[in-house]
A and B are shown apart, each in its own frame.
Chain A
Amino acid sequence: MTSAIGFSGVSRHYGDVKAVDNLNLDIAEGEFFAMLGPSGSGKTTSLRLIAGFERPTAGEIRIFGQVAQGIPPYKRNVNTVFQDYALFPHLNVRDNVAYGLMIAGTPKRQRQKSADEALGMVALGGYGDRKPSELSGGQRQRVALARALVNKPKALLLDEPLGALDLKLREQMQEELKTLQRSLGITFIFVTHDQGEALSMADRVAVFNNGQIVQIGAPEDIYYRPKTPFVADFVGSSNVLPPEFMNGLVGKSSYGAVRPEAVRLAEQGQSALVRSVSFLGAATRVTMDIGNVPMTMLMPKGAAVPKAGETVTVDWAAEDLHVMAPA
């Protein structure tokens, strides 16, 4: 696998603010790569560094082997789907999609044909004559996608593209994006703050915090084997166990994590005081304290649920306890 995008020692500082700090990253060609993190973690800045809207204050970015330094956005062979879609309001949908081709000098008839094809690909055939303002959020999102893809970029950058959509539409679009990426085989770099979205779609996920990547790996790795308490907490809301507690448990002074769904009521184990119980539909969430360590348990539907104030005994399988590297 060849490298599509490479960051080596890339920083983007605004005065004292380190938006991106000494980032090293390699994204393979054809990969569906997610950048996950809370807002302000540097993921969007990283994407904008690739697109060329921002310039690194240090380090080097390579795009398909070419050093990106000094290459303006309009000469980079990547295209972006913006968070607000950034559709041109004065152009109809077809002209929006054909914009890149028009700039490239494609004859009118040909670029309109390509634009209509691209619209067909995102299931918007026949919408070409409408204005962006006449479309729904999901439709606009797909126009933005078609507008980027019609240029056949080698990498597609997506900045929170599903953020503005409602839950149902978002899930549907996640599927469609995934399918699209598979069929086109081009590199997708996807920025999101929604860990479910990142885990379900991406081949690999980079978790950002404070301008740095704290963990990078396959979704399963991130989910089951968080390297830091931050990842454990941010990706899937694991119960983070402090080193002192772990010391008593496994005799090793490092952080541990256990997923809420792995925690169960047991005959033997840790004694816990139930603080609250919330019904979630498919499951029930029980929050409790083991000593001073907070712990969340997800109980499947139908199980007998303890009441707040009760003291219960909980446990988990040894393989469900993930022990992180020593801090």
Chain B
Amino acid sequence: MGVGLSHSLCRLGKIAGCIHRGKLSMNTVLKSGTAMVLALTLAGQTSAQTMLTELGEGEGQVNIVAWPGYLERGETDKSFDWITDFEEKTGCKVAIKNANTSDEMVALMNEGGFDLVTASGDASLRMVAGKRVQPINIDLIPSWSTVDERLKEAPWHFVDGTHYGVPYMWGPNVLMYSTEVFDEAPTSWDVVFKPMDLPDGQPNEGRVQAYDGPIHIADAANYLMHNQPDLGITSPYELNEDQYAAALDLLRGQRKLVGRYWHDAFIQIDDFKNEGMAASGTWPFQVNLLKGGGAPVASTIPVEGATGWADSTMMHSEAENPNCSYMWMEHSLASNLQSDLSVWFGANPAVPTACTDGRGMQTAEGCTTNGMDDFERVKFWTTPVSTCESQGTCVPYYRWVSDYIGVIGGR
């Protein structure tokens, strides 16, 4: 489970940090006059970029930058192996470089020497903008057709009609609750946002947790989007000053309810065991582990929906092993990877049939637990930028970072 821990740690890393750069750079560009030219140049370059049209012999190797736990060859746990098979079949040796944050991923890709990266929503757009990744020819990936329809043209890898990535794995941030406190699943996120008495008659103050990263502002915005429609929020990642202020106010109220914000998945697990926690936003990962340990918890996605994350496999613009890379992308969709990884990390496969066709350990129930059916209710996070689609001007991510630190500090 150590792998799970490090992955959870990195996930918080990528949420907290990495959003910062990608889209922001485009902003600057669009804002300033001279930038228009630059933008055109960028566009020109993008289209000029070559795309592989035909698959050749494998080069014997493929170098992948990945989140810890995303690439398992049975060394952590014998039953979780989705590499050995690939290497035997294709003769492409897989060299893994783990990265703990999206920033690290971007930095490694900037350095070069890698073929593939399992990029999250923020990093993916940054790398597209920075021309670090090349367009993907989906015709060379036979299993593309099996990819979840909902992910095929997701905005975090499908830019201007071009595919830059192959969906890898996604998951929602669910509401975990103690079944000793709640007789039935809470229907609203208000149990973690508003002071109230919980079904066991005790106040929720000190018994709820929230995520210790600026992206949690989006969870507040998601709550307001549903409960205060007059604010006019259309995306929790695109907030104008008023909407943003309302979200921060909500979070300031939440500060009074939260004893400690959760940062590390295992500390949260411990808190649910030893601190009498009643409810918190969390990942399916913790829910699975706690349930596995016999703790009285369950999870739900309340009426407001939830935020979530989605990762894609992307290919370096100067990849030295393009053939093995394409073979890996095909493998990532066609093999037991989708099924077993979704069990391993408590996430959802990008190929829906992986839930049911018995290629791995995942089952339909498992996918349901991990939130497979709630895709429409998940707002996958993207980088908050100042020029936003929905309303022109939004509060950018760097302010989310400093303001959230202030909120936790009681400001």
Q: Answer yes or no: A and B touching, Cβ < 8 Å.
A: no
Residues on A close to B: CB < 8 A? none
Residues on B close to A: CB < 8 A? none
